[in-house]
Amino acid sequence: GQQLNQSPQSMFIQEGEDVSMNCTSSSIFNTWLWYKQEPGEGPVLLIALYKAGELTSNGRLTAQFGITRKDSFLNISASIPSDVGIYFCAGQKGTYKYIFGTGTRLKVLA
């Protein structure tokens, strides 16, 4: 099945640093969703984006819906140890069709 290209696959950062990750596709999406998943748990929705160019924040998290509608970016500012987890994106193509990225594994070094 189709998957989104998500990068980086993993990253180690120091506490306090900013983090950036992105998802790209050859397809156009109506909605971009960003999730955080911790080991053995279900994904938690962080941010939803609905319009090309839209920039939305949720606390220290900021995400953008790419102008071409084929990509999206997630930034985490001033990372803290509890930011550890897997972040993944999802693009919605049709009413019931969501395509998912493979995730970015984030590890924060105190």
Strands 5-7 and 97-100: unpaired
Residues binding another protein: number (CB under 8 A): 27
Of 11-19, 56-64, 68-76, 86-94, the segment contacting another protein by CB under 8 A is: 86-94
Residue 56 Cβ, how far from another protein at the closest point, in Å? 12
| HEC-encoded secondary structure of 1-54 | CCCEEEECCEEEEECCCCEEEEEECCCCCCEEEEEEECCCCCCEEEEEECCCCC
Q: Does 87 help bind another protein (rule: CB under 8 A)?
A: no
Q: Which residues bind another protein (CB under 8 A)?
A: 1, 3-4, 30-31, 33, 35, 40-45, 48, 50, 88, 90, 92, 94-96, 98-103
